A = this chain, B = another copy of it.
């Protein structure tokens, strides 16, 4: 009865009320004769959110990590050389997975706060005349540092080198929130999950696969990595009939139907624009806080879905997070790995609006001050308000005038 908990982590995100309603339901028969209509409509509409017209979408009962694994297992072989870069906890974990699954990973380590080194990629791809590199991996949005990378640039690097490597993208905290163009950018495997831009609870790993990726899978036939749960083959065979190879998470699928309907009605461009507006407000707040700064090293890297923020010198970011949680009922994102104690994060993706973020910024502000930061109280929220006042569309406002 002490009010709502506030959730401003970069996923799971806040579930919109219609989606919550849609998931308040009894169980159903996933082998019902009319289930395929539902499934096939869903898979078609998911492609719209991914901006793809060919290829396929796979939906696994898993987290996004499962979809990462599926992408690798189904299209690559042990020993295949791949090009990756590492600049935060999630790109780091992806490299770790790739190595554990047996790939020969060429890793480029980048300063945390920057993202995919497109020029380096270009150089290495151009040098790989023999096309030993089978795939190039790019984390579109590094959730740990709040850094967005230039996927279109990676595509251009591949094209410039006339290189046939597949392009793998981790879009877990970007797809459905910030611009992502599967077809236009020539992405081959694009991973996301239910609990970010799709505004659902965690539990679905979503994977887009291009025709080229599907062909790579087919070429493997029964060779390649051992795979079963995440195998494309089984999923394709059953999805083509409108069913799944094992019991799907129908509650989440019904929720996804609802969130997709909302998203497609709104339009992806409009969603991306909203995320940008909201992110600008958060960044204005950070700018206003003396001694704080974004982990992202400059506007080119700014993420519109999450801001990782260095606490001022002498302030332990863990105190900020803990105070926000225990005293102000607000979940902020922790500083992961080498950012632990140094940075905290504000997630600003999914179903959000300016007043929610004024609350989040206020929580961070109060917690910062409590933790010893010498910021001017209210400075952040004032800066954010100015941004929001200037950019928030004045929906339908038939302003009532005095007689």
Contact = CB atoms under 8 A, between A and B. Distances in A.
A127 interface: no
Contacts of A226: 78, 100-102, 225-226
Contact of A362 (B22, B195, B385): B385
B382 A378 contact: yes
Interface string A343-369: 000000011111110111011011001
Q: Which of A226, A316, A355, A395 has the most CB of B within 10 A?
A: A355
Nearest to A265: B1
Nearest to A255: B251
A146 interface: no
Contacts of A394: 323, 326-327
A249 interface: yes
A318 interface: yes
Given A322-B33, A354-B366, A398-B33, A21 B12 contact: no
Nearest to A27: B12
Contacts of A97: 228
Interface residues of A, number: 125
A325 to B, nearest CB: 6
A245 interface: yes
Q: Which of A13, A17, A69, A358 has the most CB of B within 10 A?
A: A358
Contact of A2 (B24, B201, B274, B325): B274
A355 to B, nearest CB: 5
Q: Which of A333, A356, A360, A378 has the most CB of B within 10 A?
A: A378
B392 A327 contact: yes
A203 B63 CA distance: 10
Interface stretch (A3-11, A44-52, A116-124): A3-11
Contacts of A164: none
Interface of A: 1-7, 9, 11-17, 20-33, 60-66, 68-69, 78, 96-97, 100-102, 193, 195, 199, 201-203, 222, 225-231, 245-252, 259, 262-263, 266, 271, 274, 316, 318-319, 321-323, 325-331, 333-334, 341, 350-356, 358-360, 362-363, 365-366, 369-370, 377-379, 381-383, 385-386, 388-389, 392-402
